[in-house]
């Protein structure tokens, strides 16, 4: 069993807007559950720090960074109907990025094998020039940039299992062959991107892999997509580090989407990613929280990921396996993805 770290900072709770689903209670539910279940004593705390402006500008324009800071300093504002800024939002977002960078450093220095960054606001919708979709700065993308630009790595993979496509992460790396971006997501759905034919451009053609799944996919279909696409793609790419945009809004209990993944499904996926990281990149695996808006499902699903990282068996959750209904046939979309990326016959 490798040493497992976690990042959490109370400043993350200061970013809040009344009635908004992306709320501090999300992290409070996770931390309360981990403490009640005694898991925190088995994890290594990694202190968060503030990211520098230079780090933010590895993925975002200086104008975007300046706008978010100015809006926070002037009392807050709404950037779009989904995305808010309060007086504390810039500080929380800078520390969310910095928390991921602290975990990255701990992993690359060998202090931990893997880590889960319990950060907010989330990041994967934030593009090079625009904050959107509850996201201010792209936490995972900036961690990937730092790994490449400052830590000497040459190949990084990002796996995004949030129910929404990570359009921001895709945009940031669409022409960068040093990053393999693989996303499973409900499609069509917000933000409207993530079709299987979006594969990258120039020298990076083929390093963006989108698996657009229809609504109603269960754990069976979800894991099939990872076994048939993610596993062979990662084995062929052979990353030196695996980053995960970990959103839990594909859970059947989540109010913002229409997928039927169970907590056990997230455990099995985390085990798959853990094993791939150990096979391909010395176990170097960093999870960062994205979505997930049912507090019970979120807390238990994050705990399931920690159980996987700690090499422990699945702990049954109170929500169970969810609706026992037939799932959609995803064979056609998987075939399209595999043809687009020459994955047929790889395993």
CA-CA distances (angstroms) from residue 252 to 20, 214, 218, 263, 290? 20, 14, 8, 9, 17
> Is residue 24 within 8 Å of 122, Cβ to Cβ?
no
Tell me the pairing of strands 77-80 and 83-85.
Answer: antiparallel
Other CB atoms within 10 A of residue 118 CB: 23
Q: Residue 125 catalytic?
A: yes
Strand order in the sheet with 179-186: 44-45, 4-7, 114-117, 285-289, 241-246, 156-160, 179-186, 208-213
CB 333 within 8 A of CB 211: yes
């083929």: which residue's tokens?
Answer: 206
User: Residues 15, 125, 164, 165: which is the catalytic one?
Assistant: 125
Tokens of 168: 């921001």
Distance of alpha carbon 106 from alpha carbon 95, whole angstroms: 16
CA distance 27 to 248: 13
Which residues, 6+ apart, have CB-to-CB distance to 280 below 8 Å? 234, 235, 238, 239, 242
Residue numbers annotated as active site: 125
């Amino acid at each position: 069993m490798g040493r497992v770290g976690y990042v959490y900072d109370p400043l993350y709770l200061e970013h809040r807007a009344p009635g908004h689903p992306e709320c501090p209670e999300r992290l409070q539910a996770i931390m309360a559950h981990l403490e009640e279940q005694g898991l925190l004593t088995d994890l290594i705390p990694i202190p968060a720090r503030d990211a520098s402006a230079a780090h933010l500008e590895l993925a975002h324009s200086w104008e975007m960074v300046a706008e978010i800071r100015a809006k926070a300093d002037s009392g807050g504002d709404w950037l779009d109907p989904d995305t808010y800024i309060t007086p504390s939002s810039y500080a929380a977002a800078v520390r969310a990025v910095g928390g991921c960078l602290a975990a990255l450093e701990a992993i690359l220095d060998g202090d931990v094998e893997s880590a889960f960054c319990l950060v907010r606001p989330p990041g994967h919708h934030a593009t090079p020039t625009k904050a959107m979709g509850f996201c201010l700065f792209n936490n995972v993308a900036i961690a990937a940039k730092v790994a490449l630009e400052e830590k000497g790595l040459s190949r990084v993979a990002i796996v995004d299992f949030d129910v929404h496509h990570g359009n921001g992460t895709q945009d940031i790396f669409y022409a960068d062959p040093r990053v393999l971006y693989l996303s499973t997501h409900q499609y069509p759905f917000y933000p409207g991107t993530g079709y299987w034919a979006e594969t990258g451009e120039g020298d990076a053609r083929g390093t963006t892999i989108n698996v657009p799944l229809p609504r109603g996919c269960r754990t069976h279909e979800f894991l099939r997509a990872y076994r048939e696409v993610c596993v062979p793609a990662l084995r062929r790419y052979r990353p030196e580090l695996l980053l995960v945009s970990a959103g839990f809004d594909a859970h059947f209990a989540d109010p913002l989407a229409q997928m039927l993944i169970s907590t056990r499904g997230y455990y099995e996926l985390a085990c798959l990613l853990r094993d791939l990281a150990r096979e391909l990149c010395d176990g170097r695996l960093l999870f960062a929280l994205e979505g997930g808006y049912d507090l019970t499902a979120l807390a238990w699903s994050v705990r399931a990921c920690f159980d996987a990282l700690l090499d422990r068996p699945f702990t049954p959750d109170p929500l169970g396996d969810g609706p026992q209904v037939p799932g959609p046939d995803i064979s056609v979309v998987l075939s399209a993805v595999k043809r687009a990326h020459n994955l047929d016959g790889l395993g």
